[in-house]
């Protein structure tokens, strides 16, 4: 009985995705669902910063806003009672939550980068504004 020897492993390479690998961006779970225009809007943005999250939420918001339908649709149950389908309300709720997330990410990005791009200056500015609001 002979045993197989494993080929020598390249020590420069670690298991898993390698640094700089953008496969998740192009081959992610939702990638095939984006249109060419949506992919164009998302290309070129680093997937690990706030701007990429902001861009992603904006693309999803645009898609959802384009699908909103306010036309009344009714369902009839077994007792012949008609009820209006609340699907559009769920869509509006989702759009509202996405808007809230977008607002939070945008505010966070501004606080981190601010006009000067310096985190320490942004924190000091936020603390100064808080001090003034509290009357200290």
What string of H, E and C letters represents the secondary structure of 23-68?
A: HHHHHCCCHHHCCHHHHHHHCCCCCCCHHHHHHHHHHHHHHHHHHC
CA 2 to chain centre: 53
Q: How far apart are CA 109 and CA 17, in angstroms?
A: 27
58-109 pLDDT, tens per residue? 988 888 888 887 788 888 888 988 888 888 888 889 989 999 999 999 888 8
CA distance 14 to 9: 10
Highest mean pLDDT among 10-19, 20-29, 32-41, 55-64: 55-64
Q: What is the pTM of this model?
A: 0.51
Mean pLDDT across the stretch 108-127?
Answer: 73
pLDDT at 17: 64
User: How far, in Å, CA of 77 to CA of 83, rounded?
Assistant: 8
Residue 130 clears pLDDT 90, i.e. is over it:
no
């Amino acid at each position: 009985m002979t045993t197989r020897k494993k080929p020598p492993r390249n020590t420069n390479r670690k298991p898993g995705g390698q640094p700089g690998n953008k496969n998740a961006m192009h081959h992610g779970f939702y990638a095939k669902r984006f249109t060419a225009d949506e992919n164009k809007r998302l290309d070129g943005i680093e997937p690990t910063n706030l701007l990429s999250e902001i861009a992603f939420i904006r693309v999803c918001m645009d898609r959802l806003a384009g699908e909103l339908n306010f036309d009344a649709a009714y369902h009839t149950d077994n007792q012949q009672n008609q009820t209006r389908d609340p699907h559009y309300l769920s869509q509006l709720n989702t759009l509202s939550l996405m808007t809230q997330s977008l607002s939070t990410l945008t505010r966070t990005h501004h606080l981190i980068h601010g006009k000067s791009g310096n985190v320490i200056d942004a924190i000091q500015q936020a603390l100064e504004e808080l001090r003034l609001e509290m009357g200290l």
